Amino acid sequence: MQKKTIWDLGRATLEEYRARPKLPLVVILDNIRSLNNIGAIFRTSDAFLVKEIALCGITATPPSPEIHKTALGAEDSVAWHYYNSTAEAVIDLHRRGYTVCALEQVKESIELQNFQIEPTKKYAIIAGHEVHGVDPEVVNMCDCCIEIPQFGTKHSLNVSVSTGIALWHFFSHLTAVPPTTI
C-alpha cells in the first residue's frame, strides 16, 4: 500500500471548512488545565465537524503557542467561546436547545455504546478536569452522563482521548453521509 500524500487527502482550506455545515454538537471543557489537552481537543473537534467549543473556568483560550502546538491551527477553524464557569455554559446551551451530556463516571451513567443519539437533536458533551473530572454541580445540571467502558487497571482515560472517542461516536451517528462528502 502507498501512503496518501497531502494532496490525496483533499483537505479543505480554512475558508472552505468554515463554510461547511457543522454537526449539531458542542464540546464543553470544564476547567481543563493542560494546554496540550485543549489543543488536542480542538484538533479532534476540527476533524469531526464540531460546531463549537465552550472553554470554561481555568481552561485557557487561544491564541496560545502551547494550544497551537497540538491544535495545529484547529484553534482557528473551530468556533469557540469562553464562559467564566461551566454552569454558565450549560445554562446557555440548555437555553439554545441542546441536550447536555457529561462524559463522567457516575452510578447512573449510560455506557457510550448504549447511548441512543437522535439525529434531530442538538448535543453538548462536557469533558472534565484531568484529575477531578466534571464538577459535581455541573453533573447535576446535565441531561445525562455518558461513560466509556474500560477493562484495564486504570480508572480513566486522558481527557483528550476520551473526548475523541465520544466525538467519533456522535459523528458516526449524526452523519448519514460518508465524511469525505460532507
For the chain, list the domains and their CATH numbers.
20-176 (3.40.1280.10)
Query: pTM for this one?
Result: 0.93
Q: Measure the CA dihedral 91/94/80/109, to 10°.
A: 100
Residue pLDDT, tens place only, 97-146 = 999 999 999 999 999 999 999 999 999 999 999 999 999 999 999 999 99
Q: If pLDDT is split at 50, 70 and 90, which confidence band does 179 have?
A: very low
Please tell me the distance from the alpha carbon of residue 152 to that of residue 146, in angstroms, as a whole number: 19
Neighbours of 91 (CB within 10 A): 14
Q: Which residue has the higher pLDDT, 61 or 9?
A: 61
